[in-house]
């Protein structure tokens, strides 16, 4: 007697019938997320592992003949033996302390102004948001015309006010304030939109109750608006803090002298990421540069953790499970 051969499709359907409802849901879920999961592993996890391993080697990006394992040598060199690491880190801290408070205060103030119920506020919101959409190369090109030492519009304006010619090097000696102006101008739109979303989430009943109790505009802002906006301020602070330590494009483009040739940024804006860029793409020290990136990651992680720890003292969460 010849055994009947069951087609594969029928076997598959029989197996599916034996799966429980929970198992079928699990199979469906992983089938649907598998494209993203494969991409995440190939483009996220795998490069991360390679980056960690590279930081323990002397890899130069090209030759494998002299490739060797150096252990924590790159890390100890970055911490103890490279003075430019400490210098660039200090300049990055100065950059963050100068740029971040200005950006937070000005964008929050703009959001407060544009949150008023006045005619044409939609137009002004659009105008203030437009700089965030301009590519960094175009923005820097325009700002270089304004900040140029000898023929810049800003120095010309200062000369008219002072009554004598001035030639302030906004792109050299005073490159830090010059770069701060560009960064704050370009980031106001994004910060303003997030602050606007937070302001529009504040219940008007609370502001009306404060007004009925006799609170003036400042008192309403101090005791109602500001406490309820602290979660948004905290969110913006974390994003701005991380972004400050990752700043690379702005000083790099600001000091570009040609289409394919870029000079080293002046020392006032020689930030940590600039030094890392120089080590990897100019000097060919891929292993050492990757180690510098991991040192930055650990440092920013610790700093962010400290900021998260402080939130219990100044961030107000209007929820049963939140801190107040």
Q: How far is CA 43 from CA 35, 252, 259, 282, in A?
A: 12, 26, 30, 25
Q: Write out the two tokens for 265.
A: 């940024």
Q: Write out the two tokens for 289.
A: 């540069």
**Closest residue by Cα to residue 239 from 195, 278, 295:** 195
**Closest residue by Cα to residue 270 from 172, 182, 148:** 172
Which class for 47: exposed (0-12), middle (13-18), buried (19 or more C-beta within 10 A)? exposed
| Residue whose pair of structure tokens reads 């408070």 in the numeric block | 101
Asked if 209 and 223 count as a contact pair (C-beta separation under 8 A), the reply is no
- pLDDT of 320: 41
Q: Which residues of the chain have pLDDT under 50?
A: 1-3, 6, 258-261, 320-324
Which residues are CB-neighbours of 178 under 8 A, at least 6 positions away? 143, 147, 170, 171, 254
Question: Which H helix or E strand runs over 38?
Answer: helix 21-40
- pLDDT of 38: 93
Q: Name residue 256's beta-bridge partners.
A: 262
Q: What is the CA radius of gyration of the chain?
A: 27
What does the pLDDT look like over 229-247, one tens digit per residue? 999 999 999 999 999 999 9
**C-alpha to C-alpha distance for 279 and 56, rounded to whole angstroms:** 15
- pLDDT of 240: 94
Alpha-helical runs (H) found in 41-165: 46-54, 73-76, 83-114, 121-129, 136-147, 153-162
Q: Write out the two tokens for 157.
A: 């304006």
Reported pTM: 0.84
- pLDDT of 72: 93
Asked if 225 and 199 count as a contact pair (C-beta separation under 8 A), the reply is yes
**φ/ψ of residue 69, rounded to 5:** -85, 125
């Amino acid at each position: 007697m010849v055994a009947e051969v069951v087609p594969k499709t029928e076997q598959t359907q029989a197996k599916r019938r034996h799966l429980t409802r929970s198992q079928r849901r699990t199979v469906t879920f992983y089938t649907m997320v598998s494209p993203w999961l494969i991409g995440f592993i190939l483009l996220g996890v795998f490069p991360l592992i390679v980056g960690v391993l590279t930081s323990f080697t002397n890899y130069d990006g090209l030759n494998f003949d002299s490739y060797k394992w150096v252990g924590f040598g790159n890390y100890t060199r970055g911490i103890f033996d490279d003075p430019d690491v400490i210098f660039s880190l200090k300049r990055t801290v100065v950059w963050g302390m100068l740029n971040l408070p200005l950006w937070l205060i000005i964008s929050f103030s703009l959001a407060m102004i544009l949150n008023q119920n006045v005619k044409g506020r939609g137009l002004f919101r659009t105008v203030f948001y437009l700089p965030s959409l301009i590519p960094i190369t175009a923005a820097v090109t325009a700002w270089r015309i304004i900040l140029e030492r000898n023929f810049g519009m800003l120095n010309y304006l200062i000369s008219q006010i002072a009554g004598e010619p001035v030639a302030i090097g906004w792109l050299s000696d005073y490159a830090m304030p010059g770069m701060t102006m560009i960064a704050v101008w370009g980031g106001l739109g994004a910060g303003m939109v997030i602050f606007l979303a937070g302001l529009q989430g504040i219940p008007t009943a609370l502001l009306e109750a404060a007004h009925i109790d006799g609170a003036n505009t400042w008192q309403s802002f101090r005791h109602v608006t500001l406490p309820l906006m602290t979660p948004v301020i905290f969110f913006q602070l974390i994003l701005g803090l991380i972004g400050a330590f990752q700043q690379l494009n702005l000083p790099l483009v600001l000091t570009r002298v040609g289409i394919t040739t870029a000079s080293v940024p002046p020392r006032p804006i020689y930030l940590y990421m600039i030094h890392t860029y120089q080590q990897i793409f100019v000097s060919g020290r891929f292993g050492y540069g990757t180690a510098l990136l991991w040192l930055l990651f650990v440092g920013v992680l610790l700093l962010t953790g400290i900021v998260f720890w402080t939130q219990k003292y100044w961030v107000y969460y209007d929820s049963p499970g939140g801190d107040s």
